[in-house]
Amino acid sequence: MEKAQLVFIPAPARGHLVSALEAAKLLLTRCHQLSITVLILSHSSISSKVHNYVESRRASSSTISNRLQFIDLPEDETESSSFSSFFERQKLHVKEAVLKITQSESSVDSPQLAGFVVDMFCTTMIDVANEFGVPSYFFFTSGAAFLGFMLYVQKIHDEEKFDPTEFKDSNSELPVPSLVSPFPARVMPSAMLSKVWLPRLLYNARRFGEAKGIIVNTFLELESHAIEYFKMPPVYPIGPILDVASDGRSTHQEIMQWLDDHPPSSVVFLCFGSMGSFGEDQVKEIAYALEHGGHRFLWSLRQTPSSVGLLKSPSDYEDPQQVLPEGFLDRMGGIGKVIGWAPQVAVLAHPAIGGFVSHCGWNSILESIWFGVPIATWPMYAEQQFNAFQMVTELGLAVEIKMDYRNDSGIL
Ligand SMILES: O=c1ccn([C@@H]2O[C@H](COP(=O)(O)OP(=O)(O)O[C@H]3O[C@H](CO)[C@@H](O)[C@H](O)[C@H]3O)[C@@H](O)[C@H]2O)c(=O)[nH]1
């Protein structure tokens, strides 16, 4: 087999990068004739957590394989909350970077460009792949049932003039083919209920059909009904793709030692993903609930960004006491701990953890299943209401706090 080169274009968000980079590594270990170049898209509002994650992966990439390389694209500083215009602007940079790669394919021995692997949000990059005459695969960082849902909504929108935004406060149910259970319209993703965002979702779903295949971070045993539903393009369930190597001890020793002091399965972990945060009133209410509940807890509490913008994410409080009820931390000292960004996989892997209050991001769901920690669902943004429904009703793998909660911080 000739040497081949794939270009990966992940979306620059934690929940998308982790599985894309791990999938790239997996492919390299399976196929020794393959090289992968990962293009890192960059925007000035991307959080340091994302940069740090990429840096740590870049630093360890040479130990994984010299067939994995990263190229940083120029930073975009345009103030805009629109993903679509960001990705459109990035096309030129992607084209220039790929041109350089193809120009270096000088000898017969160099790997030849064989295709693009493009994040589910960057579907517009298929145009660039077409210019180079190579096929595109999409990398879908959520579940197969949700992929099926997107394709279903796009189909009935285009063929039957179905308008999901009319279902905002509806009690209707939809017969979604990638689900066994009827799907309540009230747990549709917020973006699908928004006249502003819906066109972009439909655009992405239409473009999925142009791909040579869709790689999904899922596995047959979890989503057999959904996976068997797909015909064309082919769907490859290559998951669960997780980055579970860290034991958290080198970076978050204090948290891990705190967990060491608690009995097995006794601590509830609360964590709401890379974008999850609550307003101050709600933080206080959660604190009262935890105090009255009396159970041990580890709570990842993060501060809402001061403005809404593309990829702006919460930060850690300098002093969480400023938003918590007076004396809360002192009273909870023995049974509860409030932290900022959590070493989530290490926490879920710890024997002291017995339950997970989660926003139901797909990576968090896969990590909870991997470590056998049951979820109580508290979806907030993106497709998390769909995921919560899937976990509670469709699969019976989680209990419901809410399935239709939506945050009010402006993130869709
Ligand atoms: O304090 C934290 C918070 C998160 N994480 C990690 O960050 C990732 C978060 O991913 P995910 O659970 O999927 O949530 P989001 O960051 O919110 O991911 C976005 O991308 C996912 C994949 O498409 C979608 O399912 C989500 O709804 C969308 O918000 C996971 O690996 C977590 O382990 C931490 O390590 N510490």
pLDDT band at 44 (very low <50, low <70, confident <90, very high): confident
The tokens describing 121, both together, are: 């949000």
Kindly indicate whether the ipTM for this predicted assembly is greater than 0.95, answering yes or no.
yes
Query: 277: Cβ below 6 Å to ligand 1?
Result: no
Tokens of 174: 């939809």
Pairing of strands 375-377, 398-400: parallel
CA-atom Rg of the chain in angstroms: 22
Ligand 1 center–CA 376 separation, angstroms: 16
What is the spatial distance between Cα 54 and Cα 57, in angstroms, rounded to a whole number?
5
Instruction: Mean pLDDT check: name the lowest of 239-253, 256-270, 375-389.
Output: 239-253
Ligand 1: residue whose CA is nearest its atom 33: 344
Q: Is 298 in the pocket of ligand 1 (CB under 6 A)?
A: no
Instruction: Output the CA–CA distances (angstroms, integers) from residue 107 to 60, 67, 103, 111, 389, in the order listed.
Output: 28, 16, 10, 9, 53
Is the beta carbon of 384 within 6 A of some atom in ligand 1? yes
% of residues, the chain, pLDDT over 90: 82
Q: Is residue 361 within 6 Å of ligand 1 at its C-beta?
A: yes
CA distance 197 to 121: 12
What are 98-115's pLDDT values in tens digits? 999 998 877 777 889 999
Tell which atom from ligand 1 comes closest to the C-alpha of 143: 25
Helices 198-208 and 83-103: angle between axes, nearest 10 degrees: 30
Mean pLDDT of the region 133-153: 98
Q: What is the DSSP letter of 304?
A: P
Q: Are strands 375-377 and 296-300 parallel, antiparallel or unpaired?
A: unpaired
- Virtual torsion, Cα 134, 238, 13, 158, nearest 10 deg: 70
Q: Domains of the chain by range and CATH?
A: 4-141 (3.40.50.2000), 253-400 (3.40.50.2000)
Q: Rounded to an integer, what distance in angstroms lies between the CA atom of residue 106 and that of residue 85?
A: 34
Ligand 1 atom closest to Cα of residue 340: 1
Specify whether 119 is catalytic.
yes
Point out the ligand 1 atom lying closest to the alpha carbon of residue 242.
Answer: 31
Q: Per-residue pLDDT tens for 263-320?
A: 999 999 999 999 999 999 999 999 999 999 999 999 999 999 887 666 678 999 999 9
Check if 273 has its Cβ closer than 6 Å to any atom of ligand 1. Answer: yes
Q: Is 172 helix (H, G, I), strand (E, B) or coil?
A: coil
Ligand 1 centroid vs 342 CA: distance in angstroms? 11
Q: What's the mean pLDDT when you consider all of the chain?
A: 93
Closest ligand 1 atom, residue 348 Cα: 33
Q: What is the pLDDT of residue 263?
A: 98
Asked if residue 256 lies in contact with residue 249, where contact means CB atoms within 8 angstroms, the answer is: yes
CB 226 within 8 A of CB 148: yes
Beta bridge partners of 69: 37
Ligand 1 neighbour 216 (Cβ under 6 A): no
Q: What confidence tier does 54 reach under pLDDT thresholds 50, 70, 90?
A: confident
8-state DSSP, 111 = P
Active site residue 169: no
Taking the CB of residue 410, how many other CB atoms lie within 10 A of it?
Answer: 13
Catalytic residue among 43, 76, 93, 119: 119
Give φ, ψ of 154 to 5 degrees: -60, -40
Which pLDDT score is estimated for 409?
A: 61
Q: Is 325 exposed, middle or buried (0-12, 13-18, 19+ CB in 10 A)?
A: middle
pLDDT for 310: 66
Question: Which atom of ligand 1 has the smallest separation from the CA of 365?
Answer: 12
CB 110 within 8 A of CB 103: no
Average pLDDT over residues 314-343: 95
CA 284 to chain centre: 27
| Nearest CA owner, ligand 1 atom 18 | 15
Please name the helix (run of DSSP H) or strand (run of DSSP E) that holds residue 365, with its range, or none. Answer: helix 362-371
Q: Is the CB of 377 under 6 A from ligand 1?
A: no
Determine the distance separating the centroid of ligand 1 and the alpha carbon of 368, expressed in angstroms: 12
Tell me how far the alpha carbon of residue 169 lies from the centroid of ligand 1, in angstroms. 27
- CB neighbours (10 Å) of residue 63? 7
| Run of H or E residues at 337 | strand 336-339
**367 CB under 6 A from ligand 1?**
yes
Residue nearest to atom 17 of ligand 1 (CA): 273
Looking at residue 105, its pLDDT comes to 75
